Structure 1
């Protein structure tokens, strides 16, 4: 029996701190789990096991997670000397010459990196089945997607390979796989975690990096270890009042919670996703909170999606051409999946005026969105519109390469607003379908107010725990 598989990262670190286990024991156990589970799931696409064992044998920094195994997403998380492919054939030979600031902070926290996780190409789709690494499978049902673009991270954590893993979110890519895999996933406020040393933001203020975890306390303690501006940061989130770890278990008070099922694209919502929100609303009232149904009325939201896509497509141009400069060769359609290449071409066609207008409208949206928190502390809404779809749902057609875009818009209409406004948002695993598929519910708080989300999430975790639930592929 593996004595560590059911322990979260905080508990594993505590064993090391009390010298009841060594970092090498934790690392070896995690490597064994990866070797057992990964052939079925394809969650881990690069390994560095021997390097990890060597690191575990040497004196590690005394941090909150000394000796705990960890995985990095194969996107954004630059690690000196290791490939960073962005899930793309074009970048399969790209090897950064430095660590990103966030990776440096992970290492200072004492984490031991075991490898990289699967992602969709450039992190563009809410699934993880790219042509470079192949499809990643959901531990709850291997015929289904684990979500995306942090699907590899989610599958690795849900299956017990590691207790938590790095993830990023530019339109739901932490929250979507959290919902699909029955995990806790928090997207921090804009600027909460660093993006340096080179990037201001790779997709124009939309992306936040953090992690997928099984417990709320792991997410809070990891954010304590990484948050804060790095040198030269162009913007940063408001300072926290106290460590987030202290918010876990702290009474949230009687919160005013707005509930909405409306989405800007008019996408239908699966009955299980509706049930998840309705049941959560009743649970919140049982915990003493006030839940009032309302609408996130967004002026001009019929065109807001177009502005988001303009910024997103121009971000693809920025990413592709940035990689082109680093690799010293021009991109071509043969280097990318049809959807990515079509979105790149769409971004090239937008022009400077359209891009600047989209940026202005997105920033204006942030001001409009802030008004929805004048009389409400937190908004409750679905994370996605259906449980994890089957693999292949987001495939391109030869005559319609952008078709996955429209399918994705109907699947994730509730996620991008938090990216556009920069607000913190989380998906909490509070519901399972009769078929045994997890369904997350989403909460969005005021800009900079991760503290309220951690207090509320830990209250829900205590009242309605989820970590005892195990998928068919576990360990």
Structure 2
């Protein structure tokens, strides 16, 4: 596929081919990852102001993708500690996480948020890594959908193919990293919201173990905390460096430490292979081929890969959908606590549909929560004979915008979503770590992600394996044909 290299035009156009949009160029950011930028700042080869200005200019060049919902370009947030490991690295925070002076609108039209009075607990730790926050990124309403699309606003486009979805709910973050605006961006994951956009945009997306980082206020109020905080990156070492930087700030004593992972381990791993979801649906041919190619690569590296059965069936999916509806109902009924002007009737069709469905079936809630809470036992059994589980991230390749729009009739949209995000929710329910790696490009020119999942607390094995894969299988690059 051909693409035109970014140039020094003074207008807001991005580098683009017939399909791709990106902002990579010959400025100070070049094609550097976050670790490289931090090193350039540390050695004073470039200044923080210079790096910040370059990222802002790049963001403006890809504005047509609608990734940024609030910019703080006049007054970015950063730490004053030049010794912080990622000092000077430009980034963004997802618009469901409070940053002092910036609104948190959660992707909804039901109210207009006022600027937050203080940083959220996670934001404090995030800023302590040294990053410079330039603004807030787009997410679908309350992060409930797997595509960053809206009832009455323009959708967020995929920089690889703007007419296609970039996934969700960290879709805006994925755009800015994939398009070269910043090397790393905040994301969080309540059902696949780090891993799905990573898969759609050709990025690395690690969903950490539950409790690995400090939780936001909403996560603490959930009957089952399904949300994990993290980042999207273009290199494994950036993800590893971020994990280590956050652990230096605060470590959960109930979890094994990770430390700074710098490369592959020499262990021979046993890897279970799954290509069917809990409903029995098989991944599409292109996705399945990417997973099988990854299995072959792992075998070539000396690991043992063998098929395993999914220990969950349709009941798990039904229970998760009910829980999904419970969260939508809670959002709809507590909105007034956020803003007195909150108008529940302005919620999009998908949130409203989840709420109506839940209210019809809420008597099933105790049983569903009981089964979901116990799911970790069967999940742990998957790792009695394996260190990793290899699977798709999604059941089929990235769809065009509109396919998962909240304007689609609810029952049809719910069927489409459960037939798409078939592999990610399990890790959220059981609280285990998983990572999406960009292993292939589809016939349509879009990345295909593959998921590796590990036992509770074992991010280290995921990162070591990702390093090994990256060394022998360079990730697809948006700026290359």
After TM superposition, is the score higher than 0.5?
A: yes
Q: How far off is 1:229 after superposition?
A: 10
Report the Cα distance in structure 1 between the residues aligned to 2:279 and 2:262, rounded to whole angstroms.
Answer: 35
Alpha-carbon separation, structure 1, partners of 2:335 and 2:115: 11
Alpha-carbon displacement from aligned partner over 1:415-438 (angstroms, at most 9, x marks no partner): 111111111001101111233221
C-alpha deviation, 1:326, in angstroms: 2.4
Question: In 1, are the aligned partners of 2:107 and 2:139 still within 8 Å (CA)?
Answer: yes
- Name structure 2 gaps, 5 residues minimum: 1-25
Deviation of the 1:317 alpha carbon: 2.0
Shift of 1:130: 1.4
- Is 1:367 aligned with 2:380? no
Q: CA deviation at 1:380?
A: 0.3
SS of the aligned residue for 1:144 comes to: strand
Find the counterpart in structure 2 of residue 433 from structure 1: 442
> Separation in 1 of the partners of 2:235 and 2:115?
33
Alignment correspondent of 2:421: 412
Q: Which residue of 2 aligns with 1:323?
A: 335
| CA displacement at 1:121 relative to structure 2 | 0.7
Residue number in structure 2 paired with 1:35 = 60
- Tell me, in whole angstroms, the C-alpha distance in 2 between the residues paired with 1:91 and 1:218: 35
2-structure distance, mates of 1:392, 1:196 = 31
Q: Quick check: 2:286–2:442 contact (8 Å CA) kept in 1?
A: yes
Deviation, structure 1 residue 321 = 2.9
Q: How many residues align?
A: 456
Q: Write the mapping of 1:276-295 to structure 2, written as runs, cut at 5 A.
A: 276-295=290-309
The yes-or-no answer on 1:263 pairing with 2:277 is: yes
Q: Would the aligned equivalents of 2:447 and 2:476 in 1 still touch at CA under 8 Å?
A: no
The partner residue of 2:396 within 373, 386, 391 is 386
Q: Distance in 1 between matches of 2:85 and 2:133?
A: 15
Map of 1:240 onto structure 2: 256
Distance 1:242 1:45, change over 3 A: closer
Does structure 2 retain, via aligned residues, the 8 Å contact 1:196–1:230?
Answer: no
1:190-221 per-position Cα deviation (integer Å, ceiling 9, x unaligned): 11111145751557311111011001111111
Q: Does 1:67 align with 2:88?
A: yes
In structure 2, what is the Cα distance between the partners aligned to 1:70 and 1:228? 20
Kindly state the Cα deviation for residue 153 of structure 1 after the two structures are TM-superposed. 0.7
What is the RMSD of the two structures over their aligned residues, measured on CA atoms?
2.2
Q: What is the CA deviation profile of residues 336-367 of structure 1, one whole-angstrom value per residue up to 9, with x for unaligned ones? A: 1111112123334444x532322211111111
Q: Deviations over 1:223-272 (max 9, x none)?
A: 222349979xxxx57433341x2x23141510000001121223342211
Aligned counterpart for 1:296 among listed residues 310, 317, 325:
310
CA contact (8 A) 1:195 1:201 kept: no
TM-score, scaled to structure 2? 0.90
Matched, 1:340 2:360: no
Distance 2:340 2:146 in 1: 30
Question: How many angstroms apart in 2 are the aligned matches of 1:444 and 1:450?
Answer: 9
Contact 1:100 1:195 in 2 (8 A): no
TM-score of the pair, normalised by structure 1? 0.91
SS in structure 2 of the partner of residue 167 of structure 1 = strand
Shift of 1:61: 4.9
1:342/1:401 contact within 8 Å kept: yes
Distance 1:256 1:199, change over 3 A: closer
- Paired residue for 2:8? none
Q: Tell me if structure 2 keeps the 8 A contact 1:396–1:402.
A: no
Which structure 1 segments of 5+ residues have no match?
none
